Structures are given as C-alpha cells and as structure tokens.
Amino acid sequence: MANISLEEARAQLMSLQRKMAAYEHAMGLIYYDGCTTAPKGTADNRAATFSILSEEIYRQSTSDETVELLEFLDANKNDLSSDEKRMVYLLLKDIREMQKIPMDEYIAYQELLVKAEDVWHNAKEASDFEMFRPYLEDLFAYQKKFAKYIDPDMDPYDHCLNEYEEGLNMAACDRFFSQLREGIVPLLKRVSEAPQIDDSIRHGYYPADAQDKLSYHLMKQIGLDLDHVGLSTTEHPFTTSLGSHHDERITTHYYEDDFAFSMYSVVHEGGHALYDTGSADELAYTVLDGGVSMSIHESQSRFYENIIGRSRAFCRLIFPELVRLFPDQMEGHDAEEFYRAVNKAEPSLIRTEADELTYSLHIMIRYELEKRIMHDELEVKDLPAEWNRMYKEYLGIDVPDDKRGVLQDSHWASGLIGYFPSYALGNAYGAQFLAKMRETVDVDACIESGDFSAVNDWNREHIWQHGGRFTPSELLERVFEADFDPSYYIDYLEKKYTELYGL
Amino acid sequence: MANISLEEARAQLMSLQRKMAAYEHAMGLIYYDGCTTAPKGTADNRAATFSILSEEIYRQSTSDETVELLEFLDANKNDLSSDEKRMVYLLLKDIREMQKIPMDEYIAYQELLVKAEDVWHNAKEASDFEMFRPYLEDLFAYQKKFAKYIDPDMDPYDHCLNEYEEGLNMAACDRFFSQLREGIVPLLKRVSEAPQIDDSIRHGYYPADAQDKLSYHLMKQIGLDLDHVGLSTTEHPFTTSLGSHHDERITTHYYEDDFAFSMYSVVHEGGHALYDTGSADELAYTVLDGGVSMSIHESQSRFYENIIGRSRAFCRLIFPELVRLFPDQMEGHDAEEFYRAVNKAEPSLIRTEADELTYSLHIMIRYELEKRIMHDELEVKDLPAEWNRMYKEYLGIDVPDDKRGVLQDSHWASGLIGYFPSYALGNAYGAQFLAKMRETVDVDACIESGDFSAVNDWNREHIWQHGGRFTPSELLERVFEADFDPSYYIDYLEKKYTELYGL
C-alpha cells in the first residue's frame, strides 16, 4: 500500500463496497426470485449460481489486496470520517471472521442454504419434518463449526446471538426473558379468565385480489414510497433490499379465510422497509446502508405492526377501507369490533399470527430449543417432539402437525440461528421508543388523522437515517437517553390488555 | 500453461463456462426483474449492479489466464471432443471481439442498456419518441463504434446481421426479402380484393385472470414442463434462460379487449422455451446451451405460433377451452370462425399482432431503417417520420402515434440491431422444417389429437438437443438435406391464404 494516497484508498473503500453491494443485489434477487416467481424445479440452477457468486465475493472481499487496503485505512483512521471508520471496522471484522472459515465449507454452506430453503418449502407443504431433517442437521452442524472457527473461546450460542445483535448474550437474554415472563404470565392468566373477545370479523371469505388492494392501501398509508418499495407474495413474508435502500421488496401471504394475517404482515414488513428506505442517501451501496441490527429492525417492524397497527386509532382509520373492499363481510361490524378482534389474546400455534401478549412465549420456545441444540443437549431429530412438548408447557396447546409446528418458520432454513430473540427485544425497544416519541409527538392524533409524517419523521431523525453508523447499544443510548428498560413494554401490555379485557 | 495437463485444462474449460453462466444468470434475472416485478424508481440500482457485474465478467473472461487456457486447448484441439472444440472456438471468438472493445466503453454500454430499457418503457407509455431519442442515438453510436472495432473491414450492418446469424449479410437478406416480396405482394393484393374475414370473435372483454388460465393451458398443451418454465407479464413478451435451460421464463401481456394477442404470444414464447429446454442435459452451463442463433430460435417460436398455433387443427383443439374460460364471449361462435379470425390478413400497425402474410413487410421496414442508420444515411431524429412514411408505402397505413409506431418494439432499447431479419428467416426455415417433418410425422393428426409428442420429438431430435453444437447453416443442412429455399414458405402462404379467402 506504499504507493497509494489516502484519497485513493478512500475511493477504493467506496468501490469495494459498491462491488459487494452488486453481488449482494444479485444473490438477494436470486433468493427473492426463488421465493416469489421461479418455477418449482429450478433450485439447482440457483444453488449453482449462488455457489459461484459467493465464491467470487468471498475471494474478492478476503483478498490480500482488500485486507491491505483496509489495514492501511485502519492505520490512518484518525484521518477518516466517522462513517468511514465504522465501514473499515465492520469490513475488517467480517473479513477476519470469513478468513477463519475454510473457503470450501463457506461455499458448501451457501449452497446448502439455497437447497434447504427449497426443501423446507416442500416439507412444510407436506407437513413432513423428516424431509427437512437432514438439511437442518447440516445447517446446525455448520453453525456449530463456524462458531468454533470464529470465536473458539465464546459459547457457540452466544456467538449466534452476537451475530444479530452486537453484544447480546445468553445471560442478557435469560434476564430479559425472565423479566418478560414475570410480567406476561400473570397478565395472560387474568386475561384468560376474563370474558373472551369475539373475533369472527376476521374470518370469512376475503378474496386475495381485494386483499392485494388492501396491501397497497396500507403501504401508502404508513408512508412507503411505492416507486422504491415493491410487494410480492411468498409462503412466509419477508423484506429484502436489492442493491441499496432505493430498491426494497416486501412480501406477504394471502389467506382467504383471514384478511388480518396479510394485513399485519404488510404493516410489519412495511416497518422494515420504512427503516431501510429511511437510510441517509450517502449510505447507499455501503455496509452502513439499511438497519443496524435485527432487533432494532424488529423494533421498527413491530412498532408499525403492533404499537401503531393494532392501536384503536389505526383500526378506526383503516375500517372504512375494509368496508369499501369487503362490503358484505363487514356488514354489521364496526371499527371497535375490528380493534378488539385483532388484539384478542389467546395461546395459538403460529408465531406470526400470535397476539402481542403471547408472542414472546413463542420466541422463548425457539430460544430454548436453539440453545439446547447448539449445546448438543438436544438432537435435531428430537426437535418436533420437543417443540410440541414446549408448546404444551408454555402455551397449553397441542400441536397437530409439523406444518403448524416446527416447520412453520423459514428462519432455520435460511440459517438464521440466534435471530428469534431479536423479535422479543424489538418489541421491548419499540415500547421504550414510543414513550420517548410521546415527549414531542402526539402519536394518537397522528394516527387518527392518517398523516404519519410526524411519527415517521421522528423515527427517521432518531433511527432510520443513521443506518449502521452506530452499534445497536450506542443507538439505543442516544435515543433513550437512558438504559434499556423492558418495563416500558410490560407496562404497555398491562395497560392495553387491562383496558381491552376490562380487568 | 506449461504446468497444466489437458485433463485439467478441460476441467477448467467447464468451470469457466459455469462461472459465465452464473454471471449471466444474475444479469438475466436483474433484467427480468426490471421488466416484471421491480418498483418503478429502482432502475439506478439495476444499472449500478449491471455495470459492476459486466465489468467483472469482462475482466475475468478476457483475462490473460483465460486466454492462455483457451489457446492451450485450441492448440490441442485434435484431442478435444467436437463439443469442446466448438466451445473453445466460440469462447475465443467472443474474447477476440471483446478485447477489441475498450473496457470503459463496454461497461458504459452495458449501463446504457439498462437505462435505455427503462426510458423506452416510459417513452412508449407516453408515446414520446423525444424522451427515448438521446438513448437510441447513443445505442446506434455504440453499435457503429463496436462494429468498427471488431470488424474494421466489414460493413457495419453486415457485422450486426452476423451477430445474430453466423454468415448472414445484406446481400443474402436483400435476395431473401426480394423473393418474399415477389411472392407476398401479389398474394396480399388478391386477398385484399376478396371478401374480408369477420374477426369480431377476438374482440370483446376478456378478463386478464381468465387469460392467465388460458396461458397455462396453452403452455401445458404444447408440451412445456411447468416445473422448469415460468410465466410472467411484461410490456413486451420475451423469453429468457436463467443459469441454464433448466430455468426458462416466458412473458406475455394481457390486453383485455383481445385475448388472441396474449394467446399467440404465449405460444410464440413457448416455442422459444421448448427449443431452449430441449437442449441436451450435458450442454447445461456451457456456451452451447440453448439455441444456436436467433433465426433458428425464431423458426421454432414462429413454428409453434403460426404453423401449429394458427392451423385449423389447433384452433379446433383449443376452442373448447375458450368456451370454458369465456362462455359468454364465445356464445354463438365456433372453431372455424376462431380459425378464420386469427388468420385474417390485413395491413396493421403492430408487428407482433400482424398476420403471417403481412408480417414480413414489418420486418423489411425495420431492416431498411437499421441499414440506413448504420450507413449514416438516416439520422435517429428522423426515424419516426421515416418509419411512418414507410408504413404508408409498404402497408398503406397511417401511423397515429409513436407508441404504435417507432416505439412499439423493445429490440432497439435492448441493443438488438440486426436482429429483426431473424424473424422473417425463421418463418421461412419453419416452413421448410414442416415439409421435412411431414415426411415422417402426420403433423395434422398430432395437433388434432392434442398429443404433440411426435412433433416435439422430431424437433428435439433434429434441432433442440443440439443447442449450439453446429453453426446455423450446418444445422439447416443436416435437417433439410438440401439448401435453404424460401419457396417452401411462399408455397405455404399461397396454399393457406388461397384456401382461407377462397381465391
């Protein structure tokens, strides 16, 4: 690097990231195509291309030339902007991790991911865990190996948690989940003893094409820019950026017997998309583009889905559109009934359909199971039985089949081990964000008026624009001006459900 | 290359092609996504990624290492299989061509293509040639420059023609088109003086969702494997392979006032897809995968669209499905009426909607215009006026706007200059294939029975399986066992239209 000026090195830092963004665009699109449009028998092509492109990006982003560049910049970090410093830090951290994984294993793992995704789809459809089992065993085996390669001294599950939330570990999760449990379990008991909510308004026949119109209405309502955010349908809803935050895709799934599933999927994924597309423009095509961590991401998605989307004000705002799209089905119902129906608390089988009160219990089950597998205390083959046992223990319900049990989520098929706690943390962060937001924004008035700009502007200013500039804990500290405190979330639930169930 | 064995070099030849197939998969999918699913404002991301990936593939496929490998193999070609020999020949030819284009111009051109495609969409929608003009000027300017770089001694338009059909030139085209003109013009005159066909059955209200069902019915009917061939909608129908012939995508466009447009687009694109997916499996991920040239490709697409799809037997076969999907619209109509309606010969504005008789005139106009621009005898800015003048001269009709005039085709926006003659040649090849096929296959009986396997098997055996193994003229010679003779096509038209119009 003796021959290069700092200016040139800074320019190369930007082109390196542009190149990585291009490969990620390609690979992200291949994945997205596989979930949305691709014919059934085409997974082999995607696996082949994925494997070749991952090899290319691995080779290029860990090359001597790249490492030299980054080390040169790191040695001169006092002359870099804070954004550049953070880019160099994150890139070097990734390279150091990648260098510890043998290239052939890295490629084989990327290929496995594509196939596993495909098999999971079919296994879920057939409700046949055995079909998926060998792939899931391989996925966990790779995760264990990679954790050992990267952090030989760290507990392998701590390593997984840390991948999605810098600094998170089992000790913090155990503490957080136990505090949640103490708040939720007695509240859920009181709720279950109260008169139950009639949610029949959700159920009936809601044609997919009318639900599709509702999706676009919701996307516009929460402030998404449809020139830069697209919608497709998939088995399991998700959000992805393609190339940069200027091209964001969300997906949903229409069940014609329950419009609320897709409705809240759209608002949830829409929250992710708001966060991503809210990144400062100068972060596009860099590693700082998009959200900082999964839990902060989930704080935004679940803020829009629940705190806004399941508020009485939002239900009132949307109800006239429901009447317009589903005139017969809404006959004789009102906004209050709709509000109560989408907030009915009841132990249920499917995480993504769970109400706010029982939701965290679904997460705790996955957290416990992952932890035990990563610690070799549970074998993948015993996962369905153990899953079903825990659903009985935590939620008191019987799981009728793997489709509605252990195969319901796509996360493991995508290699996302250690991700689930983000959802529960996100919920809790969101409640504390709300308390802070309320100091300057009349949130309910915003929602009632249908003009979300004050809410979105607050989020953009405090959270979205920063992308990955700060670590999650730095960001939380800046926004909260205090420590993270799960009691905001417990208070939020307490207040909401006490009123709702007249406790 | 002193250190490498021939065996290793042969293995490297295969991995080189696998890598190229992966990049083409990624770039093809980005293009496809842009036409099908991507939100409107996302073209910049696609252009950025396209530019980076083209640079990568350019750099890698023209690297010293690659050239050395191919030259080593070329020097040892007597020890290669005939497939390998052809791969080395085609790859070296491409590299030699690419090496003549300065890298920055190649990349700028790739970027221009992505933008031009996007602008063309908007320009067509707005029927505003001026919007598209600067892009089209740049496209033609690049084509002229590239032709000079690659074949400084060849006429630039001959170079363009040769790109899509090895060995084709203006002399051959001029001859072919004049022979066609001599056959078609007097026939068209007789047709236009005969009583006209009532094609009102085509027009009415045909909802897109029922047309979509028809598309899938047609795809299955002509023998496409839906596990490997997908369908989407785009402004302009096309077919693309993603990664290999195991993942094929066709597109269509639904006009709710004319079901026949999409119907014949699906059968046309389906013909392309049959050809591609019929490649021998061992050709997957090599440069020999898929069709050999555009005109042979069009011979297959137009064989299924016209020779099969517009036959009386096919119309009889499909009519019951039309009745099932459009019961009210088909009330009082019969299969014979449908057959006559989709074969009505009449000068019209839109090439893709033209009947078999007038179709070639549309091609001749484009051929003449391209030739004149490439020879600097016509400026792009004068293209709309010249287009309109020639439509008046050749077809006797007035072009009301650019949307239905010079902006109707996507080809120029995709940089496909010299491509159009392939359609007319393809028509003529198809008629000669039919004559040959009839020596051993009862084509009409096949179509009537709805079991296309004998027809498809013949095409697979003689054409599809070979992919790019032979040059177009080698392939034609093998199949025809004679010279190419346009009079088969003229006879076919003569016979069909004489009967249809009772001449």
Query: Per the domain annotation, does B338 fall within a domain?
Result: yes
Report ipTM for this prediction. 0.89
* B448: CATH: 1.10.1370.30
Nearest partner of B253 among B333, B350, B334, judged by Cα: B350
Last residue of a domain, one of A90, A109, A132: A132
Nearest beta carbon to residue B52 from set A22, A27, A46: A22
Residues A202, A65 within the same domain = no
A106-120 pLDDT, tens digit per residue, is 889 988 998 998 899
At A352, the pLDDT band (50, 70, 90 cuts) reads confident
Residue of A nearest to B48 (CA): A22
Task: Please state the separation of Cα B38 from the chain's center in Å.
Answer: 23
Rounded to 10 deg, the angle between the B259-277 and B208-221 helix axes is: 30
Residue B257: CB atoms within 10 A of its CB come to: 10
Query: Per the domain annotation, does A452 fall within a domain?
Result: yes
A21–B48 CB contact, under 8 Å: yes
Last residue of a domain, one of B132, B157, B180: B132
Query: Mind telling me how many Å the CA of B24 is from chain A's nearest CA?
Result: 9
Query: Per the domain annotation, does B309 fall within a domain?
Result: yes
Looking at A248, A269, A298, A305, which residue is catalytic? A269
Task: Round the average pLDDT of chain A to a whole number and report it.
Answer: 95
A246–B53 CB contact, under 8 Å: no
Residues A221, A295 within the same domain = yes
Residues A105, A228 within the same domain = no
A240-278 pLDDT, tens digit per residue, is 999 999 999 999 999 999 999 999 999 999 999 999 999
Q: What is the mean pLDDT of residues A285-303?
A: 95
Residues B430, B331 within the same domain = yes
Give the domain range for residue B61.
6-132
Residue A1 has pLDDT above 80, yes or no: no
Contact A488, A435 (CB under 8 A): yes
**Active-site residue flag, A269:** yes
d(CA B230, CA B259): 20
Contact A164, A422 (CB under 8 A): yes
Residues A447, A312 within the same domain = yes
Q: Which residue has the tokens 């484009």?
A: B366
Show residues of chain A in contact with B42, CB under 8 Å.
227-228, 230, 242-243, 246-247
A45–B29 CB contact, under 8 Å: no
Chain A with chain B: Cβ pairs closer than 8 A: 126
Query: Per the domain annotation, does B100 fall within a domain?
Result: yes
Last residue of a domain, one of A132, A153, A183: A132
Query: Mind telling me how many Å the CA of B489 is from chain A's nearest CA?
Result: 36
pLDDT at B107: 85
Nearest beta carbon to residue A229 from set B39, B48, B285: B39
Amino acid at B195: P
pLDDT at B2: 56
Average pLDDT for consecutive 10-residue bins of chain B (503 residues)?
A: 86 96 97 95 93 90 93 97 97 91 89 91 96 98 97 96 91 95 94 94 95 98 98 94 97 96 97 98 97 94 97 98 97 96 94 91 97 98 98 94 96 95 95 97 96 98 97 95 95 97 92
B45–A229 CB contact, under 8 Å: no
Nearest beta carbon to residue B247 from set A27, A45, A248: A45
Which of B18, B30, B45 to mutate against chain A (most A CBs within 10 Å)?
B45
Query: Per the domain annotation, does B93 fall within a domain?
Result: yes
Residues A121, A213 within the same domain = no
Residues B100, B17 within the same domain = yes
d(CA A484, CA A131): 42
Say how many domains are in chain B: 2
- Dihedral angle computed from the Cα positions of residues B273, B279, B283 and B287, in that order, rounded to the nearest 10 degrees: -50
A37–B39 CB contact, under 8 Å: no
Query: Mind telling me how many Å the CA of B60 is from chain A's nearest CA?
Result: 11
Query: Per the domain annotation, does A408 fall within a domain?
Result: no
Contact A318, A272 (CB under 8 A): no
Residues B121, B211 within the same domain = no
A162-183 pLDDT, tens digit per residue, is 998 888 999 999 999 999 999 9
Contact A227, B40 (CB under 8 A): yes
A3-49 pLDDT, tens digit per residue, is 799 999 999 999 999 999 999 999 999 999 999 999 999 999 999 99
Q: Length of chain B in residues, anyone?
A: 503
Residues B126, B201 within the same domain = no
Percent residues over pLDDT 70 in chain A: 100
Percent residues over pLDDT 90 in chain A: 91
At A2, the pLDDT band (50, 70, 90 cuts) reads low
pTM of the model: 0.90
B39–A227 CB contact, under 8 Å: yes
Query: Mind telling me how many Å the CA of B23 is from chain A's nearest CA?
Result: 8
Residues A327, A468 within the same domain = yes
Contact B294, B422 (CB under 8 A): yes
pLDDT at B236: 86
Show residues of chain A in contact with B18, CB under 8 Å.
48, 52
B298-319 pLDDT, tens digit per residue, is 999 999 999 999 999 999 999 9
Query: Per the domain annotation, does B478 fall within a domain?
Result: yes
Query: Per the domain annotation, does A473 fall within a domain?
Result: yes
